[in-house]
Amino acid sequence: MKKLVGFVGWRGMVGSVLLDRLQKNNDFLNFNSVFFTTSQIYGMPPNVLNRVSSRLEDAYNIEYLTTLDIIISCQGEKYTKKIYTKLQDIGWKGYWIDASSYLRMDKKSIIVLDPINFNDIQLGIEKGIKTFVGGNCTVSLMLMALGGLFAQDLIKWISVSTYQSVSGSGSQSMLELLKQIGYVYKDISVYLSSKKSILEIEKIFTSSLNKINYSNTKLKGPLLGNLFPWIDTSMNNGQTREEWKGTVETNKILNSKKNILIDGVCVRVPSLRCHSQSFTIKLRHDISVESIKSLLSSHNSWVQVVDNNFDSTMNELNPLQVTGTLNIPIGRIKKLNIGKKYLSVFSVGDQLLWGAAEPLRRILNILINQ
Ligand SMILES: NC(=O)c1ccc[n+]([C@@H]2O[C@H](COP(=O)([O-])OP(=O)(O)OC[C@H]3O[C@@H](n4cnc5c(N)ncnc54)[C@H](OP(=O)(O)O)[C@@H]3O)[C@@H](O)[C@H]2O)c1
């Protein structure tokens, strides 16, 4: 009999990309599905194969949830905290697949990124692990990009600056940025082909952004023409939680005994989709740039080494070129003047695909095909 899979959070950023990938790959053929909501109970579910209910079910209906073999939640931490805990308390034996960070560091969970940790996932399933969680988006994208160096144990530490798109903060934030664009455009559009000086136009742009009331918004300030070097909550050691995840999640996914240190500054930027990252890497020993490129490009079928020149960088190494694809371009590969063991690389990846939805789709298929 086909397994019954429940989808919660399917209309959010991660959920809708997941749905799209499942449909494109005909995955719905292989299981029965039911769709849940926290806000639109008995509304219309998406039209997919093998759907067992013609309406959206209540995502807080524990009785219904316990009938499921697998639950995929892309709803967020609060939901997971509340519902996962209840389901465990009453002894539900199904598989829980999650996009949120709530369960990532739980001892009973595996952070899934199968091109990196397929063996650990298999071993976990055999041992009876039931909780599989997608990793932090920048961590998963970093591991996909630098997998060839991690696999050879070449990395001593990494210092990273991220350039994280607004969709990484959810659909609400993406809408807010688009509204900021519309709002400001209304104010400056008449001047764009006028004789007004560029500095005067810049002033109108800035004062237009400053007129918006941000108190009830998710972004809390203007992201257009701007950036925020702060993502997630404070960790009380100077780091943000997003920065803290770098070391702990990487080492958990790699099952590493060495505790490879990864730290830096995570920055929200006004690109719509895809996270970019600039890595400074301390290598364990000196190795040529050519060997590094070869290790990187042979690690998995999605990573693409980009030549370190202007045209290749412009054409291949930026968010708009990567959006909606599983490609992980990695370029600007060079040794730093600081010393032969110091490497600098830049990578871009779609955080809604390899950084969120794709590992979830793949673990779902692994569990279905057992
Ligand atoms: N965004 C990313 O790049 C990313 C990457 C990795 C992990 N994550 C994690 O994944 C989880 C979900 O993130 P998300 O970015 O997908 O959140 P999201 O876009 O905010 O969606 C979450 C839920 O918000 C509700 N919602 C309210 N207004 C909406 C609107 N206008 N459009 C769509 N949905 C709306 C929907 O629930 P109802 O249908 O029940 O109302 C939806 O399922 C979070 O824990 C996040 O930390 C996100």
- Residue listed under structure tokens 């990567």: 322
Query: Of ligand 1's atoms, which has the minimum distance to the CA of residue 59?
Result: 40
Query: Of ligand 1's atoms, which has the minimum distance to the CA of residue 352?
Result: 3
Q: What is the pLDDT of residues 96-145, one digit of tens each?
A: 999 999 999 999 999 999 999 999 999 999 999 999 999 999 999 999 99
CA of 293 to the centre of ligand 1 (A): 36
Using CA atoms, how far apart are residues 282 and 155, in angstroms rounded to an integer? Answer: 6
CA of 48 to the centre of ligand 1 (A): 20
Amino acid 40: pLDDT: 96
Q: What residue spans in the chain does CATH classification 3.30.360.10 cover?
A: 139-169+228-351
Of 341, 118, 161, 190, the residue nearest 262 (C-alpha): 161
One of 1.10.10.10, 3.40.50.1390, 3.30.360.10, 3.40.1550.20 is the CATH number of 139-169+228-351, namely: 3.30.360.10
Using CA atoms, how far apart are residues 144 and 113, in angstroms rounded to an integer? Answer: 9
Amino acid 186: pLDDT: 96
Using CA atoms, how far apart are residues 59 and 74, in angstroms rounded to an integer? Answer: 12
If one counts every other C-beta atom within 10 angstroms of the C-beta of residue 54, the result is 8
Coil, helix or strand for 92? coil
Q: Annotated catalytic sites, by residue? A: 137, 275
> Nearest C-alpha to atom 4 of ligand 1 is from which residue?
168
Amino acid 100: pLDDT: 98
Coil, helix or strand for 298? coil
> Nearest C-alpha to atom 2 of ligand 1 is from which residue?
168
Amino acid 231: pLDDT: 98
H or E stretch at 277: strand 275-283
Q: What residue spans in the chain does CATH classification 3.40.50.720 cover?
A: 4-136+356-368
From 8, 14, 245, the mutation candidate for ligand 1 (largest count of ligand atoms within 8 A of CB) is 14
Q: What is the pLDDT of residues 151-170, one digit of tens each?
A: 999 999 999 999 999 999 99
Spans in the chain with pLDDT lower than 70: none
One of 2.60.260.20, 2.40.160.10, 3.40.50.720, 3.40.50.1820 is the CATH number of 4-136+356-368, namely: 3.40.50.720
Q: Are 272 and 165 in contact (CB under 8 A)?
A: yes
| Close Cβ partners of 163 (under 8 Å, ≥ 6 residues apart) | 227, 267, 269, 271, 275, 276, 277, 278
> Nearest C-alpha to atom 44 of ligand 1 is from which residue?
76
Residues contacting ligand 1 via CB (< 6 Å): 9, 11-15, 37-40, 59, 74-77, 99-100, 137, 167-168, 170-172, 351-352, 355-356
> Nearest C-alpha to atom 28 of ligand 1 is from which residue?
172
Query: Of ligand 1's atoms, which has the minimum distance to the CA of residue 37?
Result: 40
From 57, 74, 219, the mutation candidate for ligand 1 (largest count of ligand atoms within 8 A of CB) is 74
Q: Are 326 and 256 in contact (CB under 8 A)?
A: no
From 7, 8, 13, the mutation candidate for ligand 1 (largest count of ligand atoms within 8 A of CB) is 13
Single-letter amino acid, residue 10: W
